[in-house]
Structure 1
Amino acid sequence: MTLHVGFIGLGTIGEPMAANLLNKGFTLTICGHRNPAPVERLRAQGATVVDTPRDVAAASQMIVTCVPNAPQVDAVCLGEHGIIHGAKSGTIVIDCSTIAPTESQRIAAALREQDVLMLDAPISGGPERAGRGELAIMVGGEPDVFEQASSLLNAMGRSVTHVGPNGMGEVVKLANNTICGNLMIAISEAITLAVKAGGNADIIREVVMQSAGANFLLDAWIKDRMLKDNYDAGFATALMQKDLGAALDSARSLGVPMMMTALAYQTLRGGRGGRLRPRGLLVGQQNLPGRCQRHHRHRPATQGGVGLSGVPLPCSHGMGEGCARLHKLLPLPLAYPPIARSAASSRSFWSGVPTLIRMQSRRSGLR
């Protein structure tokens, strides 16, 4: 039987996710978007277009939402024309947005009062992987609801992991983005330092990828973006700043110090106020106002695609902070698999976290 799916949120990630579901044979209902172009493209591919999230809910058995922030998730789910007013009993909402865990839990509880079920299922992987159905998805919610939604989740993701009750998907995603946000800045600093000293960026990347500093971002993103002066990245700086802010808010409530993440947050905030383009997270070459200046005209040919002059920013990759935050809320053995398969994965993470897990086991008397 064909599954009737609703999709709300047709932005940079949402549109390819929706197109992927159409390509895989799902019956898809969407609603208007502030940008009509993705709506019309998906209509041409076979999606049914309705006016409001309430109308989407009325036509759907399961609904995927993918919007930028908690107020929008609230409006889509609980607002005057929201899902809650059109959904039938037993409808499942799969929220792929990245928001504060407490907000996700609040919205899930409000939906549950009307017998509408919710999974928080934030995603990692970028637009290209979204279009191929190869995202990493970390899912919070009841096990039986996760099981019911597994066919749809597996159509969207190559790595789908149930990490605990409602809100835990958001916990793992914020830990993932804590690592990603810090790591991207650290890569930019390191490449800048090496190139300013006369190194070749392409060779530096190749060497590091065979060393302890190897990581997904350096391998997949830097090669095709930073080293080619291509800043049309798939994730907005404002969204990463929002995610780091949510992680810091949660850390304060848990008593977890996150000094490096606070610095990364301020770096992104300062960049947004200056020359840093809002669409890309590749901050190294465009950096903060007054901190460094591009010098493409004077860049030697041996310098690869990076042409920075300026002072490196004091930042680390934040793996320890992400793990510390996770450990307060979720056992590391459960959190390790989805992050290891996401954009935050690095050689340090692959080797370091299993060591932490073994140390914890010894301390607790477990083997």
Structure 2
Amino acid sequence: MNQKRSLGFAAAAVVAAAATTAICFGDALGLVRSAAKPVETIGSAPFGTTSRPIEVLQDASPWLTPVPGSPKALRGKVVIVNFWTYSCINSLRALPYLRAWSERYGAKGLEVVGVHAPEFGFEKDPANVRLATSQLNVRYANLQDNDYAVWRDFANQGWPGIYFIDAKGKVRGYRLGEGKYAEGEQLIRTLLAEAGQDVSGIPLAPIEAKGVEAQADWADLRSPEAYIGYDKAVDFASPGGLKQDRSHGYSSATDLSLNQWDLAGSWKVDGEYALLESGPGTIRFRFHARDTHLVLGGAQDGQPVRFRVTIDGKAPGASHGVDVDAAGWGQVKEDRLYQLVRQPGAITDRTVTIEFARPGVRAYVFTFG
């Protein structure tokens, strides 16, 4: 079963015993390296979706944030099911809309349910997911789906995958990837009206997204998602290539073309991430995008790993992301996505460099916006 991992940014992640392939998916930019295409509108349920979605949710576990009144209380309500994973930028950019829908229509019988289906190993840890949902202000019910059982029952195809279920328990709409939020909200209002709820007094106000959750600059995005682990790594430019599952002293490439990247220092690269084994060490990427993010994991000793970001060899200044200051300084502690760059001006090809002060950090994937 082919499924998607990112707005035009693709790369397959084999998960669960059934070899489900998942893609964190935004919008098509012609950057996807697979033939799969996103859903362009609110469509019908994918082929193979369960005809009993509420029963699937009722039988699932564990619930990290419970459904008010237990999962049985979902019966007879309009339910939005969002498949997500907390390090995926496409999942994060959908959250403002899901939160707003939960707040606007909760009193009218809408329940939003998150199904957290992890991509990386650290996202399987319930403590990490609980911390992330707290930091991201995800207050609606949330289910941990480490083995992708609910994912397979719904025949979901990527992150975010959003299902619209009516009060009779039938899937009435499906959205794969970001966007079409106004259409999604109109469908919610239709389903609530069918269930006898009057939503005419609830205004269709704009939904504001801030920080890392702000929508991408799709019109000026030329860089695809780029994995660091060798399972899905492409366009690696350090001399000699990646060395699998062993420590190696890498050196920077003489030059980077657009969307190439390299390492410098002593790194051990496995299928999922690169571990800096002795410090200092650097990662560089030549990109074309407003935003640059990097999914990072903290050191095993639990102490922060300090890093510095430069853009074309200079401090980012006004182009710093939310996780670094104007001088480019930041630190890794939690295992999550870090926003390194947000450019306020014209977008051109730039090189971002991340220098880590000491070993222990893990680097997973670059994403852009």
- Normalising to structure 1: TM-score of the pair? 0.29
Q: Kindly indicate which of the two structures has a greater share of residues assigned to helix.
A: 1
- Normalising to structure 2: TM-score of the pair? 0.29
